[in-house]
Amino acid sequence: MGGPSRNLKPSELTVIAVIGALILLVSPLTEFWADLDAPWYSPYLVWSVAILISWLLQKYLNRHEI
């Protein structure tokens, strides 16, 4: 048997998304993935993923708000 299923509140989802973006874009982890000799467009790719996740989260929250 699994544990009780728990739905995340919209504020919890937003906090998780913001913390995830901060970890990827502001932490010392950025120096690590910058030193991987990645292509020039890799920072743009990371930012695009962060924007896509925030757009999907906004779409999800608007749908469940009503």
Condensed to tens digits (0 to 9), the pLDDT of residues 9-56 reads: 777 777 888 888 887 777 777 777 777 888 888 878 888 888 888 888
Specify whether the CB–CB gap between 57 and 14 falls below 8 A: yes
Instruction: Tell whether the model's pLDDT for residue 63 goes beyond 60.
Output: yes
Instruction: Tell whether the model's pLDDT for residue 66 goes beyond 60.
Output: no
Q: State the Cα–Cα distance between residues 17 and 15, nearest whole angstrom.
A: 5
pTM: 0.63
Instruction: Tell whether the model's pLDDT for residue 3 goes beyond 60.
Output: no
Instruction: Tell whether the model's pLDDT for residue 6 goes beyond 50.
Output: yes
User: What's the confidence (pLDDT) of residue 13?
Assistant: 78
